[in-house]
Amino acid sequence: MHQQFKAISISHHTAPIDVRERVALEEQGCKNLLLQAREVLDIAEMLVLSTCNRTEIYYTSVEDRSEDIIKLIGIQKGLDAHLYKQYFQSFTDHQVAVRRLFEVSLGIHSQVVGDLQITSQAKHAYQWAADVNMAGPFVHRLMHAIFFANKRVVQETAFRDGAASVSYATVELLEDLTTALIQPKVLVVGLGEIGTDVCKNLAENKHFEVTLCNRTHIKAEELATELNFKVLPFSQVEEKMPQYDVIISSVAKQDPFITQAMIKSWDILSYKFFVDLAVPRSIESSIEEIPGVVLYNIDEIQSRANEALQKRIVAIAHVQEIITEALKDFSDWSREMAVSPTINKLKNALEQIRQEELARHLKGLTPAETERIEQITKGIMQKIIKLPVLQLKAACKRGEAETLIDVLNDLFNLEAQSERELYK
């Protein structure tokens, strides 16, 4: 049986944030899962895409390995996999799984439809797979097909128009929350991908006075210089935090970075707004028990849908058309790849016949005569094989290659020839 592409997914569609954050994987966790899948499950090609809203694993296998992969995640995260299995979706049909990766990578299934970050996150997943040699010919071709489709989406549709990403939705929320304030002071803690994107969107709005804080101070300084923001040393963040009207946190940390104990002594005269963009969450949800404290987490950001989001929803039909066209091209390539072993077996079978006959009849000939006959017989072989190869490729596009493969196997006894090659 042929290897088939399959997928499993846990996302905001299937699980609440407290479940998603327990199974979320950072870069090293993704790479560890890739290596474990190869060593334990003998999977040769796999992608692990883990974001704020989803953890998805795409892999090639003859069998459905969904439960095994969930168990590996459970082992790595110290979880009882049986309790989390209910939150995962499984996609075992090859075409469905391929289309799923297209749709996820282009942002169709994002909380904020058309989210710009998801394509970049898919690129990271691809790079991490390549780093540990878990991206073979199938994954390489598939990901490049997705990147080309994304380019078409940007150029041909309104799906990426406006700024309806998670980061923009955050800024839109802040605009609504601080309308009564004159130049509200905003502190952004954590400058990963989402934190940086929020800052770039904040820079487009002169309404805010923004300060950046990051464990790596030089990164905060560089971004602050680029965007004309202020910088707060990370060592002073707890001391200075009460000065700000809005605190946005995207700190990557297993335990909450901002706790109720940290802020319960603050003198809050009106309101303090907190936005938690991290998974796992970086702000304790219990801080809302403190009078004047308002907290939004990443699940609530989706409520900030705007006109740009509506345009993207309308554009989904066009995006799906682009995906369908890309899938057809990719499917044609996949079918050709499926017949490549048969073509190689046929070439090897004919070459073996040629070599055997030459060995019988070339004795006593001069080197020049031998070379001439070599060229003639190679030319004959290439002409003989040309038509079957063309017919196989044409049959691929019609979806009829299996029948022709069976005929060639029977005519030339290719399976036996393959076994001889194996035991040489």
- Which residue did the predictor score with more confidence, 384 or 410? 384
Q: Are 53 and 11 in contact (CB under 8 A)?
A: yes
Residue 299 annotated as binding site: no
Query: What is the share, in percent, of the chain residues with pLDDT greater than 70?
Result: 93
Mean pLDDT of the chain: 89
CB-neighbour burial class of residue 10 (10 A; exposed 0-12, middle 13-18, buried 19+): buried
Q: Smallest Cα–Cα separation from 152: which of 328, 321, 312? A: 321
- What is the C-alpha to C-alpha distance for residues 121 and 333, in angstroms, rounded to an integer? 25
| pLDDT for 420 beyond 80 | no
Confidence of residue 423 (pLDDT cuts 50, 70, 90): very low
- Which residue did the predictor score with more confidence, 298 or 130? 130
DSSP SS3 for 384:
helix
**Against a cut of 0.75, is the pTM above it?**
no
For residue 395, what pLDDT is reported?
A: 74
Mean pLDDT across 202-221:
93
| pLDDT for 5 beyond 50 | yes
Most distant CA atoms of the chain, gap in Å? 106
Residue 194 annotated as binding site: yes
The pLDDT tens digits for 224-245 are 999 999 999 999 999 999 999 9
Residue 115 annotated as binding site: yes
Beta strands 54-61 and 209-213, pairing class: unpaired
DSSP SS3 for 57:
strand
Least confident of 94-103, 169-178, 355-364, 377-386: 355-364
Residue 162 annotated as binding site: no
Q: Are 97 and 91 in contact (CB under 8 A)?
A: yes
Catalytic residue among 52, 199, 213, 396: 52
- What is the C-alpha to C-alpha distance for residues 271 and 246, in angstroms, rounded to an integer? 9
Residue 364 annotated as binding site: no
DSSP codes of every residue in 173-194: HHHHHTTTSSS-EEEEE--SHH
Q: Point out which residues pair with 186 in neighbouring strands.
A: 210, 246
| pLDDT for 422 beyond 50 | no
Torsional class of 78: left (φ above 0), alpha (ψ -120 to 50), beta (otherwise): left
For residue 417, what pLDDT is reported?
A: 58
Q: Which of 126-135, 163-172, 274-283 is predicted most confidently?
A: 126-135
DSSP codes of every residue in 199-229: HHHHHT-TT-EEEEE-SSHHHHHHHHHHHT-
Element (H, E) at 422: helix 414-422
Residue 121 annotated as binding site: yes
198-212 burial, b at 16+ Cβ within 10 Å, e below that, comes to bbebbbeeeebbbbb
Residues 6+ away with beta carbon under 8 Å from 15 = 87
Q: Which of 58-72, 112-126, 268-282 is predicted most confidently?
A: 58-72
| pLDDT for 69 beyond 50 | yes
Per the listing, tokens 């796999």 go with: 46
Judge whether 199 counts as a catalytic residue: no
For residue 323, what pLDDT is reported?
A: 97
389: its two tokens: 């190869």
| pLDDT for 407 beyond 80 | no
Mean pLDDT across 150-165:
84
The pLDDT tens digits for 340-380 are 777 788 888 888 888 888 888 888 788 888 899 989 999 98
Q: What are phi and psi of 218, to 5 degrees?
A: -60, -35
The secondary structure of residue 292, as a DSSP letter, is T
